[in-house]
Amino acid sequence: MRNPEPAAVVRMLEAVRGRRVLILGDAMLDRYVLVEAVKLSREAPVVVVRHCGKQREVPGGAANVALNIRRLGGVPRLISLVAEDGEGRSLRGMLEAEGVECILLTEEGRPTTLKTRFTDGNQQFFRLDREETIPMGEETVKRVNAAFLKNLKECECVIYSDYAKGFFSPSLKRRLDEALRGSGLPVLVDPKPDNQYLCEGCFLLTPNRREGALIAGMADRSEVDTAEIARSLSRRFSANVLVTEDKEGMTLCEASGEVIHIPSRAREVFDVSGAGDTVAACMALTVAARLDLREGMALANLAAGIVVSKAHTATVTPEEMIQEATGSPKIMERGHLAKVVEDLKKEGKVVVFTNGCFDLLHVGHIRYLRAARELGDVLVVGLNTDDSVRRLKGEGRPLISEMQRAELLAAMEAVDYVVLFHEDTPHELISLLRPDIFVKGGDYRVEELPEAPLVRSYGGEVVITPLFGEGISTTGILERIAGQPGKDA
């Protein structure tokens, strides 16, 4: 299976935006302390490190899954346990600042799980864990279940993010199963071998190869094929199984028994911490959006390839994924472009918006876009997707696929951002972006533009520019290519 085409990446990111995912599991705080190796100790065969006075904290475990979902445009809601300690307050604050809805319960005597990694940036020397792994008490189980019941109807998918830190227990699993009965909601499990009972009744499992081999009882075999592990788990739990294999990529075994492998995207691996969380987040959004699991695997593989190239536990954004797929940072998914435009307007920038099919770019387009850009500080071009062009222009159009058209526009100096839209008109896009100036070219009158009332309703300006290129048009060019009489192309 190949990695997804750029157009498919944009389409999937559009599809997962706004999907609601309920996450249960072990939230933790990941702390990175910067140190410097100075010498070998005379007391023992160990390296002596000097504290450099710098440290960084990021959400880990189930909290990182929730943050990944949020950064990808989804709507996560996290149910977990933390303490009223400094680490718990820090974790809660970081999640709330990112817009992650949290139900973070406490239990007497249980600290916030903390992983402290001592690193010089490129090399991790050791990790110090502070945790309590015994299962939570029955009263806490009841409180977690009550929170689950309260939030269940507002989600489209449930994910159990298990790190074997005491959140999950057979008692909680029985209550969750009862709550889910008859709901039809798909459940994803990112399991640890000690809690493999969580896999019963789930829709999708996302273990790594080592975890999958342990759960399947194949860990003691010297050579075992990943596809065999995935098939074994799929048969045992009557579920879809996605096994991640680090540098080897991913293997999906669907519940039907069909196995698909996708290789990893070739790039430098800096830090694999949290990569499994990114995969789980992508797959949860895929399932919530009812996309094909194979598409989700390809999207997750793209995301994982980006996140392992970053230092520390990290996340990935739609902008990064589109840039990775297209090679251009200018092509954006609409939800995240809206945030970019909002920030630009706060800086006092005048945002100009125009739209069109831009099939077979010609000099008239180039002159028009230059003129549009001169009206403000930033030019955003809304580009009709292939389906949209076909509805507007008829079968046989477009001549050039949507992502090729997007890349051509992005290569132009006058264009700052390109965003695809599948509707027949840019009305929804304008409502979302609220540009300062909406510009159209040609012999329109402002009163004839259906978008004009919308733009004026929020105080925007509508501008009509003259035709450029002495009547040059895509249709004219096509007629000349076909040998038909027509206007100058």
User: pLDDT tens-digit profile of 390-438?
Assistant: 998 888 888 888 888 998 999 999 999 999 998 989 999 999 999 999 9
Amino acid at 44: A
Residues 294, 304: Cα–Cα separation, whole Å: 15
Provide the domain count of the chain: 2
Residue 66 and residue 159: Cα distance in Å, rounded? 10
Q: Give the CATH number, domain containing residue 208.
A: 3.40.1190.20
Average pLDDT, the chain: 89
Answer yes or no: do 355 and 472 share one domain.
Answer: yes
Residues 365, 251, single domain; the answer is no
Q: Among 306, 326, 346, which residue terminates a domain?
A: 326
270 pLDDT above the threshold of 60: no
Domain limits for position 444: 331-481
Q: How far is CA 457 from the centre of its chain?
A: 33
- Specify the pLDDT at position 83: 95
Looking at residue 488, its pLDDT comes to: 43
Q: Are residues 290 and 354 in the same domain?
A: no
1 falls within a domain? no
Confidence label for 265 from pLDDT (cuts 50, 70 and 90):
low
Residue that is last in its domain, among 285, 311, 326: 326
Both 306 and 175 in a single domain?
yes
Are 370 and 292 within one domain? no
- Domain assignment present for 401: yes
> What span, in angstroms and rounded, lies between the C-alpha atoms of 304 and 481?
45
Pairwise CA distance, residues 242 & 207, whole Å: 7
Mean pLDDT of 205-231: 90
Q: Which two tokens stand for residue 383?
A: 């580009």
Note the pLDDT of residue 36: 87
| Residues 95 and 231 both lie in one domain | yes
Q: Closest by alpha carbon to 25, among 173, 174, 149, 210? A: 173
Q: What CATH number corresponds to the domain at position 427? A: 3.40.50.620
Tokens of 105: 């319960």
Q: Which of 26, 277, 359, 386 is catalytic?
A: 277
How far apart CA 360 and CA 406 sit, in angstroms, is 11
Angle 281-284-289 (CA atoms, 0-180°, nearest 5)? 125
Q: Is 277 a catalytic residue?
A: yes
| pLDDT tens sequence across 362-401 | 888 899 999 999 999 999 999 998 888 999 888 888 888 8
Any domain includes 112 = yes
Highest mean pLDDT of the ranges 13-17, 160-164, 421-425: 160-164
Q: Is residue 198 part of a domain?
A: yes
Amino acid letter, 151: N
Q: Is the Cβ–Cβ distance between 323 and 418 less than 8 Å? A: no
Pair 287, 364 in one domain: no
CA atoms within 13 A on the CB side of 275: 26
The reply to whether 315 and 389 lie within a common domain is no
User: Cα torsion for 191, 193, 194, 196, to the nearest 10°?
Assistant: 60
Q: Is residue 486 part of a domain?
A: no
Note whether 442 and 346 are same-domain residues: yes
Q: Does the residue 488 lie in any domain?
A: no
In a domain, 313, yes or no: yes
Whether residues 317 and 335 share a domain: the answer is: no
End-to-end CA distance of the chain: 42
Band of the pLDDT at 487, cuts 50, 70, 90?
Answer: very low
Would you tell me how many other CB atoms lie within 10 Å of the CB of residue 242?
Answer: 28
Q: Is the pLDDT of residue 184 over 50?
A: yes
The order of strands in the sheet holding 461-465 is 331-332, 417-421, 378-384, 351-356, 437-441, 461-465
Same domain, 281 and 361: no
Question: Is 450 among the domain residues?
Answer: yes
Residue type, 43: E
Structural domain ending residue among the three candidates 326, 354, 382? 326
E strands in 122-239: 124-130, 157-161, 187-190, 204-205
CA proximity to 25, closest of 92, 104, 131 = 104
322 and 335, same domain (yes or no): no
